[in-house]
Amino acid sequence: MPAPWRRPDRAAVEQGKKIHVYADETRPFLQGSRLTAWELMKDGIPTTVISDNMAGAMMKQGKIGAIVVGADRIAANGDVANKIGTYTVAVLAKEHNIPFYVAAPISTVDLECPDGSKIPIEQRNGKEVTHIAGKQMVPDGVGVENPAFDVTPAKYVAAIITERGIAKAPYAESLRQLAALEEVH
């Protein structure tokens, strides 16, 4: 029977590991700055917020040893839909030989969705990008793309961590096995 679910950062601390988390700000709503950083600090985990476009430079400087992201949906083949910018971080992690992990509840896995190309991507209101604190920052008439999510191909994912265990490639097999396990109580 798999061990009870522990968020990977919390589990590392419980195991006595010294970690420091660099949390992307996560634009346009700044969930990383406002929520992730708050949760980490509340748990006593040292945290530094970085702008979304700093991730590659931090990796190049050797400040990042592993990447852990969440997921909004995971396809049967291990492709992962998460907040926009996740794909970019995964590609940068691969370039810098840094493992890229996904931590998500098993309910996020959709075995009926064969791959990431079948995951619909929500387009959000352009004002989320053009306005900050109600003030327009972009000239009138400029086009805006504002997808809420992107899809990271499974080839960039080192492992998918769930409350039922850890899935590794080939994901079509390992995710199906985890999904078939009974719920941990």
| pTM as predicted | 0.91
Does residue 72 have an active-site annotation? yes
Q: Strands across the sheet with 100-103, in order?
A: 67-69, 100-103, 159-162, 165-167
Residues 13, 44: contact at Cβ < 8 Å?
yes
Residues 19, 48: contact at Cβ < 8 Å?
no
Residues 86, 80: contact at Cβ < 8 Å?
yes
Q: Which of 9, 24, 52, 72 is catalytic?
A: 72
Encode pLDDT of 10-67 as tens digits: 888 888 889 999 999 988 888 999 999 999 999 999 999 999 999 999 999 999 999 9
